[in-house]
Amino acid sequence: MPNVPPRLSLTLEVRAEVGEPIEVGDVAGSRRRIVPITGGTFDGQGELAIHGRVRPGGADWQLIHPDGLTEADARYILETNRGQTIAVRNRGLRHASADVMRRLLSGERVDPSLVYFKSTPVFETAAPELQLLVRSIFVGDGERYPNEVVLRFWKVD
């Protein structure tokens, strides 16, 4: 069998609205902050033709290392326009130059191409027609803006 790399298929785009970060402070040599997820929307792509909203109440628990590397651990709920719920746990890494990270963490708008922001989402849902989310591996690509995070999830084929 030939050594063929996997393909990626854009499957889901999430536009999560976020609130002001809650600063917990220094823990274990890094800075802990929690970013509330206050709402938003999502759209399925390709074989996943779903649309809906991001329910308020989720959060991204971030651990920011002294060099600016951010470990993200976000949990939130998507609700389709048909009332189906999808639980999301999205873990990722974000980093850039020291100046870009300083500006980003202070709430400034920065060019997303200057920031490495990748993730590995895991989905849970009881909806039979959405089991593609549960039975596939995904990788994510993100963009952080002052009041919004845009995430694109790619199915590994």
Residue 107 has pLDDT above 90, yes or no: no
Contact at 8 Å (CB) between 119 and 90? yes
Contact at 8 Å (CB) between 92 and 125? no
Work out the pLDDT band at 69, boundaries 50, 70, 90.
very high
Residue 117 has pLDDT above 90, yes or no: yes
CA 73 – CA 67 distance, rounded (Å): 18
Overall residue count recorded for the chain in this entry: 157
Residue 108 has pLDDT above 90, yes or no: no
Please tell me the class of the 8-156 domain: mainly beta
Decide which of 2 and 52 is more confident.
52
Q: What is the pLDDT of residues 48-59, one digit of tens each?
A: 999 999 999 999
pTM assigned to the model: 0.92
Residues contacting 98, CB < 8 A, separation 6+: 67, 68
**pLDDT (0 to 100) of residue 106:** 84
